[in-house]
Structure 1
């Protein structure tokens, strides 16, 4: 039987009325797999391959009774994606006469109460909203989720290898206790084969999980605009000129690697266009721009049919938010991984099936890293995901969440969490007991008659609006113009009365600062400079760095037939010398450093090993942009490491004496205040030295 023939008459009518010429390959495969097995599915396919319909159509088609509760739970990493999918699936659900309900902060309480009181149809929600429901209204959560037959997870790749992903795994296992063995479908960008095992285990389900891979991809057109020797604190004029020329004929997304660069590029492009009276719209899109302004940009891009526009953005637009079709993507500054570059490329060519990548660069090292990532992508070699080992931070958060949910819990049960929930199975009994003892000692948990309840410090945690998420939300100062919120900024010494700043692609002058309210009042002006944001750059992958070394060693970069790049890469090679199995760099002051050509995690681990055997007063530094570690007599230190003159015991001893080092290495772990120092050190060893 053909996949289309197995669908209900209503779904067939929907497809016919939409004018689809046929089902896509991933849709055909998913419909057949759902009909012929009881397995879970992961749909791994590029952007614009019809993944959303490939997930929803077979799930909706398989539900036999829509009258006995909520049947499909869709989980998204972003509220914007929920809004997109609500628009996309609403028409299909109307054909089936089933309700679809989005659930986030902007949805009315009346809508939420309606689906809680009479669970039915499809619910679209984020992980953090599920946590809020379990903690604050556990009875409602059980009533709402008990009839669910399908759980659909969007952007699975964005959860793998992250604290938020571990949080979601725990939530899935907690709510699955209310359900009767639901089936899972996850949508993901293309995955490395090495990660298939991690992906299959994500659901914690007793069912088998199949991965369906769509290997179709757009044709790729690459242009390179490289300005030799122009690297500096600002984007080179030649680079801006190249980007501006592309923006005059194409709708584009520009991906620099920082919010500072987003603001600088957007402002300067806009000035260039105004000087020529060019009818082009330029937008800035990053996490510090107010969400309403970001949504206005997304709406404009999605619904614009005639006007040229360019959005300069950070990774906020890497995920599958529907902004319609753009002609091309500009990469300025190097992507940290092949996967990141792949995601960015997937934003273009939806209509033409040709992705266009403009590489614009004025720094030779960044150019080498971009080329290394592109070379891997063209060979179909994606980075492997670095999974989080022994996630004590997420476990501590979930211990508190479960106690909030259940009010009290026998200690015997609390000490069995690593056996009750598969997500915690790698945590030993001894480590779980140590963690809980510490949380009791610090009054996050209180013990009464062998029952664990929330302690006074735990109550303070719950009162924080940030408790439900494992990712940090910024505590920056909000920026306001009259009655409009523009966004937020870190309050640095540069922010003073009458100072000029760029934010949301506009120039502002600071008129008032209310420190207590964390509020900055501004007015419009003409000239300004980008604010100083905390670094946005992510960890660079091992695969990209190792390919950088290979390209330099073999001279394969000459295939680009670009004289400037060949000359500058030849110069990079000449600045390094190879000795005893390592690359070394010596500057004009005869300072020597080791260039590892390895990923950020490896470099941090190596730096820790060196510091652990260094004498007091010796300073060693990691310059990760260049994969470089410097310090006194670095060659001798590396020789000691190679000779086995150090072990992880040295690292433990170093960390035990350096609380600041522990804090720096666990700074992105939001709930590490719940974790004892010995487990923090163990986490560092497990996550930086497993490579």
Structure 2
């Protein structure tokens, strides 16, 4: 701690009133000050922000950094808004400045930041991309002085395509700065911290000095966790309304529709309730989160938007409707409680279906064993290679046809392996070539040129939605089908936990004008398929059905429902402790693998001679041919052919952003690789199989 700048130390003690730094903060000071790449692991509210910012502010003063020298990157705009005032205070101790820049920041404010940059800029990868390719920002003047990048909630980036986009942007940023930029990642607990640090270090990880900072967990009191089965969302609302009155309760749901419906149910029961999810307007979310932070006897219902460290004040209780899909998400949510002296972490699970109860129980058995998912980048991001090539051409104006790969410092797959993608972009007119230089072609102008190519800044596609307005007040956004599907009676939407009657739809500008009504609203969003459950989670669910109980409090309703599910599995012979089962019923033949969606998709493709080609793979089983016999099964298993990637409907590539600029075969191959789980499929194939009802 004594290595920190004396002014920072003074304010830690006198302004913040802290007796000292927390373990993760103390452990991070020396390596961050030394310029090493660092990954800090700490639970929610573990002081991760300060572990990066305090030593970087010290380095800023010690080494005389001027201008914009630190980027603080977050996955959510709401998190940036929440952190902004805190970092403005910290930088102000030293006469420095911090500011926020993202898509909701006004043009006037951005112009002011370009003219007089802060020392620390809180932003998103998409906004950095916009700075690099936009004509309004002279990116060299603004970004050439960057010395360090802090990536908050780095695990949230690394597990999807935003992580690939972030890595590619960081490599381009190092080219602009002309130096190695220090990378500091802040993360909740993950199952593979060393691999996550190497991922964050990017192209030249082998030559970069890095360290994982992960202090041992404190010996706090064990958390208070209860698992209940309530049978419906309406019953869940009754329990939430009746329990813990006078306290602040945060309820997590795993869909926006659940958030809206539960919020409406709670409001009908006289509960002071606030909502937070991605389809509410930014103003509506901020109002809800501020009101909740200042209130006492109230409930806020949220999706994972409130999982990632956004400050909503001291909480008394966390309630989970059904179950999250990962242990990591549960740890984030559990960490929202137990922050005040004399309180303990707590979570009440309210399962609305037997399946959700079994999933929650399986998740809790993994948690009790200390298991957390590894964070793995999605394989083969060829579509983002194409995006980055176009973005680079916009950034530099022209790119040498032999030099483009050096812009990412050898980061795979943004390297020479992308030559087929470059050729395709040229052949299709997305890039043009003249005198050995590549530049933006007419097809790229046509497809992406609107709004100064801003569509190229994001690695994800948001489904089309209608903005819902009450007068001039934006409530949020709703799915198109709510306004177009055939329905008797007046058209009503449920948004912000309230029902609204649609009075007028501006189809051209995608706006729906509404007024409040007593009830009858419908909430719906096209969120696609729910997150596929992992091999480990599905196997833990099987263990629960075979008799394992998580070491938490089970209510009588939960115990009774689990007993019924276990009896059903016993009768149906769908689960075995040391292998898989094939069961013929009157309708079909199912191979109960308990392997997860991706492994089952791989198995169905690999054993195509006996699998039903018309099936949609699921988490629990693979449908086999109705004429299957033991001989056919054993013959199929006896082949030593390599695993086969799942079949992909060519129409599915439309959901992969920038897939249109790839050769079709590469787009399909990218999706196939992402649908597969080769290690889990290999493990299943090595297990014995019990045949029931086959002749």
Q: Is residue 378 of structure 1 aligned with residue 357 of structure 2?
A: no
Equivalent of residue 57 in structure 1, options 54, 57, 62: 54
Query: Secondary structure of the residue that 2:402 maps to in structure 1?
Result: helix
Alignment partners' CA distance in 2, 1:443 and 1:53: 48
Q: Is residue 331 of structure 1 aligned with residue 331 of structure 2?
A: no
Equivalent of residue 546 in structure 1, options 525, 534, 539: 539
Alignment partners' CA distance in 1, 2:485 and 2:297: 34
Query: Secondary structure of the residue that 2:490 maps to in structure 1?
Result: coil
Equivalent of residue 224 in structure 2, options 218, 221, 226: 221
Q: Is residue 255 of structure 1 aligned with residue 252 of structure 2?
A: yes
| Cα distance change of structure 1 residues 495 and 301 upon mapping to structure 2, 3 Å threshold | farther
Q: Is residue 395 of structure 1 aligned with residue 395 of structure 2?
A: no
Query: Secondary structure of the residue that 2:250 maps to in structure 1?
Result: strand
Q: Is residue 573 of structure 1 aligned with residue 569 of structure 2?
A: yes
- Residue 454 (structure 1) aligns with: 440
Equivalent of residue 48 in structure 1, options 21, 45, 49: 45
Alignment partners' CA distance in 1, 2:636 and 2:313: 53
- Residue 187 (structure 1) aligns with: 186
- Residue 638 (structure 2) aligns with: 643
Matches within 5 A, 1:663-678: 663-664=651-652, 666-678=653-665
Structure 1 residue 435 displacement after superposition: 1.2
| Cα distance change of structure 1 residues 408 and 21 upon mapping to structure 2, 3 Å threshold | same
Alignment partners' CA distance in 2, 1:488 and 1:614: 45
Query: Secondary structure of the residue that 2:32 maps to in structure 1?
Result: helix
Structure 1 residue 31 displacement after superposition: 1.3
- Residue 692 (structure 2) aligns with: none
Equivalent of residue 22 in structure 2, options 3, 21, 24: 24
- Residue 364 (structure 1) aligns with: 354
Equivalent of residue 299 in structure 1, options 290, 296, 319: 290
Matches within 5 A, 1:498-509: 498-509=490-501
Equivalent of residue 342 in structure 1, options 314, 326, 331: 331
Query: Secondary structure of the residue that 1:96 maps to in structure 2?
Result: coil
| Cα distance change of structure 1 residues 608 and 485 upon mapping to structure 2, 3 Å threshold | farther
**Structure 1 residues 176-219: Cα deviation after superposition (integer angstroms, max 9, x where no partner):** 12333222211111111x34223323132542110101333654
Alignment partners' CA distance in 2, 1:685 and 1:527: 44
Q: Is residue 311 of structure 1 aligned with residue 306 of structure 2?
A: no
- Residue 684 (structure 2) aligns with: none
Contact 1:172/1:203 (8 A) holds in 2 = no
| Cα distance change of structure 1 residues 123 and 236 upon mapping to structure 2, 3 Å threshold | closer
Please, which moves more after superposition, 289-298 or 491-500?
491-500
- Residue 394 (structure 2) aligns with: 404
Alignment partners' CA distance in 1, 2:324 and 2:582: 24
Q: Is residue 143 of structure 1 aligned with residue 141 of structure 2?
A: yes
Structure 1 residue 220 displacement after superposition: 1.0
Please, which moves more after superposition, 552-561 or 385-394?
552-561
Contact 1:170/1:423 (8 A) holds in 2 = no
Please, which moves more after superposition, 74-83 or 456-465?
456-465
Contact 2:68/2:121 (8 A) holds in 1 = yes
Query: Secondary structure of the residue that 1:369 maps to in structure 2?
Result: helix
When the two structures are superposed, what TM-score results if normalisation uses the length of structure 2? 0.88
- Residue 424 (structure 2) aligns with: 438
Matches within 5 A, 1:40-189: 40-63=37-60, 64-66=62-64, 68-109=66-107, 111-137=109-135, 140-179=138-177, 180-189=179-188
Alignment partners' CA distance in 1, 2:582 and 2:522: 35
- Residue 468 (structure 1) aligns with: 457
Contact 2:498/2:521 (8 A) holds in 1 = no
- Structure 1 gap segments, 5+ residues each: 274-279, 656-660
Alignment partners' CA distance in 2, 1:635 and 1:45: 51
Query: Secondary structure of the residue that 1:164 maps to in structure 2?
Result: helix
Contact 1:368/1:548 (8 A) holds in 2 = yes
Contact 2:591/2:624 (8 A) holds in 1 = no
| Cα distance change of structure 1 residues 677 and 83 upon mapping to structure 2, 3 Å threshold | same
Alignment partners' CA distance in 1, 2:133 and 2:139: 9
Contact 1:672/1:680 (8 A) holds in 2 = yes
Contact 2:323/2:349 (8 A) holds in 1 = no
**Structure 1 residues 631-682: Cα deviation after superposition (integer angstroms, max 9, x where no partner):** 5428568656523286567x68x65xxxxx1332x45421111111221233
Q: Is residue 421 of structure 1 aligned with residue 408 of structure 2?
A: yes
Equivalent of residue 505 in structure 2, options 502, 513, 516: 513
Alignment partners' CA distance in 1, 2:81 and 2:233: 38
Please, which moves more after superposition, 596-605 or 157-166?
596-605
- Residue 471 (structure 2) aligns with: 482
Structure 1 residue 605 displacement after superposition: 2.4
Alignment partners' CA distance in 2, 1:502 and 1:223: 30
Alignment partners' CA distance in 2, 1:391 and 1:618: 27
| Cα distance change of structure 1 residues 566 and 125 upon mapping to structure 2, 3 Å threshold | closer
Please, which moves more after superposition, 402-411 or 637-646?
637-646
Matches within 5 A, 1:588-599: 589-599=586-596
Alignment partners' CA distance in 2, 1:160 and 1:11: 32
Alignment partners' CA distance in 1, 2:642 and 2:338: 51
| Cα distance change of structure 1 residues 448 and 641 upon mapping to structure 2, 3 Å threshold | farther
- Residue 693 (structure 2) aligns with: none
| Cα distance change of structure 1 residues 395 and 638 upon mapping to structure 2, 3 Å threshold | farther
Alignment partners' CA distance in 2, 1:551 and 1:360: 17
Query: Secondary structure of the residue that 2:18 maps to in structure 1?
Result: coil
4+ residue runs over 6 A deviation: none
- Residue 276 (structure 1) aligns with: none
Alignment partners' CA distance in 1, 2:136 and 2:106: 20
Please, which moves more after superposition, 515-524 or 344-353?
344-353
| Cα distance change of structure 1 residues 450 and 356 upon mapping to structure 2, 3 Å threshold | same
- Residue 629 (structure 1) aligns with: 622
Structure 1 residue 28 displacement after superposition: 0.9
Alignment partners' CA distance in 1, 2:583 and 2:301: 35
Structure 1 residue 149 displacement after superposition: 2.1
Alignment partners' CA distance in 2, 1:597 and 1:450: 54
Structure 1 residue 350 displacement after superposition: 2.3
